[in-house]
Amino acid sequence: MLDFLTQLMPNVIDKWPAFVQACIESLQMIAFSGIISFVFGLIFGVTLTVTNKDGILENRIIWTILDKLVNIFRAIPFIILVALLMDMTRAIAGTTIGVRGAVFPLIMGTVPFFSRQIESALAEVDYGLIEASQSMGDSPFQTIIRVYLKESIPGIIRATTITLISLIGLTAMVGVVGGGGIGNFAIQYGYSRHQTDITYVSCIVILIFITLIQSISNVLIQKTTH
Question: What is the length of the chain?
Answer: 226
- Please report, rounded to a whole number, the percentage of residues in the chain having pLDDT higher than 70: 96
Half-sphere exposure (Cβ direction) of 145: Cα atoms closer than 13 Å: 5
pTM of the complete model: 0.90
Terminal-to-terminal C-alpha distance of the chain: 47
- Residue 53's region, left for phi above 0, alpha for psi from -120 to 50, else beta, is beta
Which of 124, 110, 112 shows the shortest CA–CA distance to 32?
Answer: 110
Distances (CA, A) of 44 to 2, 29, 206: 50, 22, 29
Which of 103, 122, 205, 214 shows the shortest CA–CA distance to 163?
Answer: 214
Distance CA 192, CA 194 (A): 6
Question: Could you tell me which residues come within 8 angstroms of residue 15 by beta carbon, excluding any fewer than 6 positions away?
Answer: 189, 198
Q: Which residues of the chain have pLDDT under 70?
A: 1-8, 226
In this predicted structure, what is the pLDDT of residue 135? 87
In this predicted structure, what is the pLDDT of residue 134? 86
Tens of pLDDT, residues 112-166: 999 999 999 999 888 888 989 888 888 889 999 999 999 999 999 999 999 999 9
Distance CA 109, CA 103 (A): 10
Would you give the DSSP letter of residue 187? I
Distance CA 211, CA 208 (A): 5
Supply the Cα-derived Rg of the chain in whole angstroms: 21
